[in-house]
C-alpha cells in the first residue's frame, strides 16, 4: 500500500512538472518562432487595428457576413451555446438566422444556405467561412455595391486559403480580409 502511494505521488509530481512547466514553456518557445511571436495576426485598416484570427461582426448588406457567434466574438472567453441539435431554443435561434439570411438574400433557397452561416462555432470566435458561404452572398453584395458579380467571384477566389500542404484543414476564407479587399475594390 505504502509503495503504491509513493509511486502515485512521484507520478503526480512528474506529470505536474511535465504539464505545468515543460509543456507550456515548449508551446511558448515554438510560438516565438512564428510571425508576431504567437500574438496573432494583426490587421490594420482605416485607422483601426484588429486580429484576423478572431471573428468580427458584419451585418451590413455591402459586406460578406461571417459565422455567427454564441458569445458575440468576445475573445476574453471563447465558448459555444452548449445546446444540442434537438434543443428547441437552439433550433429557434438557428431558424431566426436562416430567416434573416433569406430575407437579405432573396435569390437564395433555404436548402442552399450553408450551415456555417447559421450555426456558431465551438469557440464562438471563428473568423472563417467556407467558399460556398461566400459565394452564396454574391448576389446581395453585387446589388448593394453595384459591382459586377464576376469581380466578386474573382475576389473570393483570390482570398481563398487552401489546406496546409493540401491535406491539413479545410478550404476557407477569412471574412475580415475578404471584406477589406472588397472595400479596396475600385
Per-residue pLDDT tens for 82-130?
888 888 999 999 999 999 999 999 999 999 999 999 998 888 788 999 9
- DSSP code, position 116: G
- Stretch 66-83: mean pLDDT: 82
- Worst-scoring range by mean pLDDT, 72-76, 141-145, 175-179? 72-76
28 and 88 in a single domain? The answer is no
20 and 62 in a single domain? The answer is no
**E strand or H helix that includes residue 48:** strand 48-51
175 and 121 in a single domain? The answer is yes
1 and 52 in a single domain? The answer is no
Torsion over CA: 88, 94, 100, 104 (sign): negative
Could you tell me the residue range of the domain that residue 24 belongs to? 1-39
34 and 56 in a single domain? The answer is no
106 with 153: CB under 8 angstroms?
Answer: no
Q: Quote the CA–CA distance of 178 and 152 in Å, as a whole number.
A: 10
35 and 127 in a single domain? The answer is no
Q: Which of 53, 181, 66 is nearest to 129 (CA)?
A: 66
Q: Quote the CA–CA distance of 172 and 122 in Å, as a whole number.
A: 17
Q: Which of 174, 183, 128, 126 is nearest to 152 (CA)?
A: 183
Amino acid at each position: 500500500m505504502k509503495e503504491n502511494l509513493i509511486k502515485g505521488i512521484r507520478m503526480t509530481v512528474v506529470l505536474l512538472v511535465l504539464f505545468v512547466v515543460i509543456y507550456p514553456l515548449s508551446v511558448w518557445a515554438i510560438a516565438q518562432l512564428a510571425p508576431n511571436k504567437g500574438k496573432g495576426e494583426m490587421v490594420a485598416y482605416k485607422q483601426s487595428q484588429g486580429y484576423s484570427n478572431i471573428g468580427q461582426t458584419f451585418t451590413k448588406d455591402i459586406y460578406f457576413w461571417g459565422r455567427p457567434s454564441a458569445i458575440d466574438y468576445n475573445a476574453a472567453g471563447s465558448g459555444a451555446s452548449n445546446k444540442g441539435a434537438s434543443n428547441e431554443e437552439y433550433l429557434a435561434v438557428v431558424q431566426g438566422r436562416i430567416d434573416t439570411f433569406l430575407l437579405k438574400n432573396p435569390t437564395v433557397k433555404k436548402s442552399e444556405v450553408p450551415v456555417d452561416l447559421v450555426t456558431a462555432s465551438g469557440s464562438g470566435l471563428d473568423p472563417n467561412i467556407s467558399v460556398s458561404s461566400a459565394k452564396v452572398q454574391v448576389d446581395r453584395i453585387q446589388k448593394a455595391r453595384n459591382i459586377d458579380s464576376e469581380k466578386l467571384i474573382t475576389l473570393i477566389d483570390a482570398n481563398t486559403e487552401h489546406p496546409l500542404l493540401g491535406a491539413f484543414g479545410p478550404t476557407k476564407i477569412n471574412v475580415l480580409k475578404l471584406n477589406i479587399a472588397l472595400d479596396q475594390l475600385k
